[in-house]
Amino acid sequence: MFTPKYPPQDTAPTPIVSPAVQTTAPVPAVQAATPVVPASVPQRPTVQLTPGSALALAAGGGAVVLVVGAVLVSMLLAVAITAVSVAVTAVVLRFLITDLRKGR
């Protein structure tokens, strides 16, 4: 049940690479400069926003900002309340310890 399950190994045959045979005479080292044409980059489809989708996108972003802000504010409030309660407890304990030392 807890043993790992490995996928089967790739069974594709390995390609056989043979060295290229040179059939023509070697080209001299100095050649005429030929202009290099860069390869054409295929065009990616562009995303076009309609006014309705732009409005929906803005509303969604605003909703995300509001939710994240509310969560962060609530976490900050929880930390602040905890800090105040620890401080009050420390003051009460301090007074109790001083009263015990005085023998009251």
**CA 69 – CA 8 distance, rounded (Å):** 48
**pLDDT confidence band for 2 (50 / 70 / 90):** confident
Domain layout of the chain by residue ranges: 76-104
Tokens representing 14 are 């390995």
> pTM above 0.75?
no
Predicted confidence (pLDDT) at residue 28 exceeds the cutoff of 70: no
